[in-house]
């Protein structure tokens, strides 16, 4: 989601909330392994990810100038490491930025484990906690923390700290925008708070090279709240656009310019750094990095999780209102052409998943449904529900609009006025979301229906809490969607002078698929799944500007499992 689009649309995400007066109890911070100096030697913490019933991936990075490092890793059934379940040796080097990945195998299903790394000089890493997936016959409840969009300069990672404090947590599902590519100029995204909090991007310019992306990953993983969340439970991750650059698609990106080099080269180094620094299994020798990100996980009979790649592999370039809604008139001036725009929008050749990924998804959904798994959870980057833009032009007082626009350059004022004029013409709110690819959405819904799946779609990117009831073009129910707000990334809801509550009501009133929306909070979704029901709790932190903070359940919504392929009514709890 582009910075310009945030200003233009003025609807997705949120700024800092008011300061809270309390915080949750301190989570357990496990001691390090034998030796001293772990905070220096292992300055970026530990992480685990991509669990299955008998194995899990372990990650760390050793801070070392010299090349060629050997480490010991251990997995234990207890915090004291008295009952070792798996151990071994592994190597790292400058070629992979001294990051370390190992797959610990031979573990028991549905079991909590503790893990650590030990350098050759005896220095121990922090200790992490992880968990394997349950047996396929297990009916135990599954608790997931769903998060996205952590803009480091814009605020403290209090929501990550809150995730680390969760008493019960089986996995963290991160839907992308784990980091952002922007620089440290005063006008760069998030830098008003960045200067206030002294959270200055490293390096202090837009990241383009491999060294740049590695340095930005290192800055993020040096954050203690993020380290604590990684050490709390296994993560299941996928990237969105900012891990490369804003509004990326298969052959380019809005925020990639010709003077920044070749797009394919930039994408390659960004993905190389992402795979080095994230707790995701390495791709097979015959798979691309992009294809390695779509994959499935089975949480017993309660749920299967299917992570999608919607950004770099098959996505057709986004439409843009500024260029695609207008044609040249007789005098050469642009003339609105809604009919032509809608024809472009509904072009069946516009793709988001692509044929191969869609075929894979249908197979995995069908297999999970046949096996009796209650919920097929879709880890997806962008909002899937149909969301029409409200007629903000009829809702915003002219004096308010003039006051907001007065601080912007003249050309930006004109572009915002042009966009507002469009928002009374029954057009999508966000062309970067599934609304920009309606034919692909219908193909997705067809795959879900043929698989007789019972989908719970997860969405990030929007910096907004959503609870949506999904329906196809004919109005038939498909499933439900829980959209998570951002960890820290800001909301532009105020950029048009709209109080968040007013914007919430305007979007809700204009869209029958939207059951609930809130632009204001920062936080995450706590999703609890059993064979009988799915429950989404919208978890909001009270501030991203200071500590302590307060964590509250903003709203909770539930849906019951109906017959195979059918979800019950969505209701607020």
pLDDT per residue as tens digits for the range 197-234: 999 999 999 999 999 999 999 999 999 999 999 999 99
Residue 529 resides in a domain: yes
- Flag whether pLDDT at 42 surpasses 80: yes
The tens digit of pLDDT for each residue in 108-132 reads: 999 999 999 999 999 999 999 999 9
- The mean per-residue pLDDT over the stretch 512-523 comes to 96
Question: For position 214, what pLDDT does the model report?
Answer: 98
Q: What is the pLDDT of residue 475?
A: 96
**Euclidean distance between CA atoms 555 and 573, whole angstroms:** 8
Q: Is residue 315 exposed (0-12), middle (13-18) or buried (19+ Cβ within 10 Å)?
A: buried
- pLDDT tens-digit readout, 276-304: 999 999 998 888 999 999 999 999 999 99
Q: What is the CATH number of the domain that holds 481?
A: 3.60.21.70
Identify the pLDDT of residue 492. 65
Q: Are residues 518 and 479 in the same domain?
A: yes
- Judgement on whether residues 21 and 36 belong to the same structural domain of the protein: no
Residue 281: inside a domain? yes
Residues 120 and 73 occupy one common structural domain: yes
Q: How many domains are there within the chain?
A: 2
Write down how long the chain is.
573
Placement of tokens 């839907």 in the chain: 175
pTM of the model: 0.92
Q: Compute the mean pLDDT over every residue in the chain, rounded to the nearest whole number.
A: 91
Residue 303 lies in a domain: yes
Identify whether residues 442 and 499 lie together within a single domain: yes
Domain membership of residue 526 (yes or no) is yes
Question: Does any domain span residue 23?
Answer: yes
Write the CA distances from 339 to 329, 346, 524, integer angstroms: 15, 11, 39
pLDDT at 431 over 50: yes
- Residue that is written with structure tokens 């913490």 in the block: 45
Q: How confident is residue 332, by pLDDT bands cut at 50, 70 and 90?
A: confident
Element at 393 (helix H, strand E): helix 392-395
* Digit-coded pLDDT (tens) for 364-420: 999 999 999 999 999 999 999 999 999 887 877 788 778 877 877 787 677 777 777
What pLDDT sits at residue 26?
52
- Could you give the CA distance from residue 537 to residue 525 in angstroms, rounded to a whole number? 6
Give me the pLDDT at residue 483, please. 98
pLDDT in tens, 5-32: 333 333 222 223 333 333 444 544 444 4
Which residue, of 93, 126, 159, is where some domain finishes?
126
pLDDT-derived band at 535, boundaries 50, 70, 90: very high
558 and 439 co-located in one domain: yes
Residues 79 and 200 in one domain: no
The residues, any chain, with a CB within 8 Å of residue 398's CB and separated by 6 or more, are none
Q: Which residues of 55-87 are buried (b: 16+ CB within 10 A; e: fewer)?
A: bbbbbbbbbbeeeebebbbbbbbeeebeeebbb
Q: Does position 335 have pLDDT exceeding 50, yes or no?
A: yes
Do 173 and 146 share a structural domain?
yes
Per-residue pLDDT of 432-460, as tens digits, reads 999 999 999 999 999 999 999 999 999 99
- Summarised one tens digit per residue, pLDDT across range 234-264 is 999 999 999 999 999 999 999 999 999 999 9
Mind listing the pLDDT tens digit for each residue in 45-95? Answer: 999 999 999 999 999 999 977 788 899 999 999 999 999 999 999 999 999
Q: pLDDT > 90: what percent of the chain? A: 78
Residue 187 in tokens: 């006008």
Final residue in a domain of this structure, among 80, 102, 126? 126
pLDDT for position 497:
55
Instruction: Write down which residue in 126, 149, 170 finishes a domain.
Output: 126
Average pLDDT over residues 525-545: 98
Same domain, residue pair 497 and 447:
yes
Do residues 237 and 208 both lie within one domain? yes
- Measured at the CA of 543, the angle between CA 467 and CA 168, to 5 degrees, comes to 60
170 and 100 in a single domain? The answer is: no
How far is it, in rounded angstroms, from Cα 19 to Cα 543? 5
Residue 466 lies in a domain: yes
CA distance 287 to 284: 5
Q: What is the pLDDT of residues 486-515, one digit of tens each?
A: 999 998 675 555 677 888 998 999 999 999
DSSP classification of residue 388: B
Domain-embedded: residue 332? no
Q: What is the CATH number of the domain that holds 69?
A: 2.60.40.380
Distance in angstroms (rounded) separating the CA atoms of residues 102 and 89: 9
What tokens does 284 get?
Answer: 């097979």
User: Closest by alpha carbon to 90, among 100, 98, 99?
Assistant: 100
Segment 167-173 mean pLDDT: 98
Look at residue 558 and tell me if it is in a domain: yes
Residues 6+ apart with CB under 8 A from 501: 520
Looking at residue 378, what is its pLDDT? Answer: 98
Verify that 114 and 230 share a domain, yes or no. no
Least confident of 180-189, 291-300, 348-357, 399-408: 399-408
Q: What residues make up the domain containing 90?
A: 32-126
What three-state secondary structure class fits 266?
helix
Cβ distance 30 to 127 under 8 Å? yes
User: In this structure, are 356 and 480 located in the same domain?
Assistant: yes
């Amino acid at each position: 989601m582009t910075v310009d689009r945030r200003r233009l649309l003025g609807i997705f995400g949120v700024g800092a909330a008011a300061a809270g007066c309390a915080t949750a109890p301190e989570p357990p911070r496990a001691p390090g392994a034998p030796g001293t100096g772990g905070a220096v030697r292992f300055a970026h913490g530990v992480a685990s990810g991509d669990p299955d019933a008998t194995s899990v991936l372990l990650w760390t990075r050793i801070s070392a100038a010299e090349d060629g490092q050997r480490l010991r890793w251990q997995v234990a059934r207890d915090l004291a490491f008295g009952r070792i379940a798996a151990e071994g040796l592994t190597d790292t080097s400058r070629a992979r930025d001294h990051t370390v990945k190992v797959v610990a195998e031979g573990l028991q299903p549905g079991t909590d484990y503790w893990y650590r790394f030990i350098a050759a000089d005896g220095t121990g890493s922090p200790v992490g906690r992880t968990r394997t997936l349950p047996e396929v016959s297990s009916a135990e409840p599954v608790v997931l923390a769903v998060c996205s969009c952590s803009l480091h300069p814009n605020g403290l990672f209090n929501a990550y700290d809150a995730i680390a404090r969760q008493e019960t947590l089986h996995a963290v599902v991160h839907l992308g925008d784990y980091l952002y590519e922007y620089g440290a100029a005063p006008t760069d995204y998030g830098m008003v708070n960045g200067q206030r909090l002294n959270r200055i991007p490293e390096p202090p310019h837009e990241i383009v090279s491999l060294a740049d992306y590695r340095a930005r990953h290192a800055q993020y993983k040096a954050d203690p709240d993020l380290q604590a969340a990684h050490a709390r439970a296994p993560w299941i991750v996928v990237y969105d656009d900012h891990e490369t650059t804003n509004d990326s698609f298969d052959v380019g990106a809005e925020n990639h310019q010709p003077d920044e080099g070749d797009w394919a080269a930039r994408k390659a180094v960004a993905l190389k750094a992402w795979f080095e620094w994230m707790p995701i299994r390495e791709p097979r020798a015959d798979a691309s990095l992009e294809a390695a990100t779509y994959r499935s996980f089975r949480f017993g009979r309660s749920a299967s999780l299917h992570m999608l790649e919607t950004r770099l592999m098959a996505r057709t370039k986004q439409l843009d209102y500024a260029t695609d809604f207008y044609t040249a008139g007789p005098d050469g001036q642009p003339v609105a052409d809604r009919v032509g725009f809608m024809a472009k929008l509904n072009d069946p050749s516009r793709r988001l998943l692509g044929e191969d990924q869609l075929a894979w998804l249908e197979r995995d959904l069908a297999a999970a449904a046949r096996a009796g798994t209650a919920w097929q959870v879709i880890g997806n980057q962008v909002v899937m529900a149909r969301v029409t833009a409200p007629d903000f032009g009829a809702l915003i007082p002219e004096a308010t609009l003039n006051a907001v626009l007065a601080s912007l350059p003249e050309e930006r004022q004109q572009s915002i006025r042009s966009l507002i004029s469009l928002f009374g013409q029954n057009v999508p709110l966000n062309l970067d979301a599934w609304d920009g690819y309606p034919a692909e959405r219908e193909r997705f819904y067809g795959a879900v229906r043929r698989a007789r799946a019972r989908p719970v779609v997860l969405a990030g990117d929007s910096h907004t809490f959503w609870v949506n009831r999904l329906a196809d073009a004919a109005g038939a129910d498909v499933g439900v969607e829980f959209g998570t707000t951002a960890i820290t990334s800001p909301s532009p809801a105020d950029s048009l002078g709209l109080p968040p509550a007013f914007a919430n009501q305007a979007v809700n009133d204009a869209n029958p698929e939207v059951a609930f929306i809130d632009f204001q909070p920062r936080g995450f979704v706590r999703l609890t799944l059993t064979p009988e029901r799915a429950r989404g709790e919208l978890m909001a932190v009270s501030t991203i500007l200071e500590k302590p903070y307060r964590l509250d359940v903003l709203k909770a919504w539930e849906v019951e499992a109906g017959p195979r392929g059918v979800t019950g009514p969505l209701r607020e709890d």
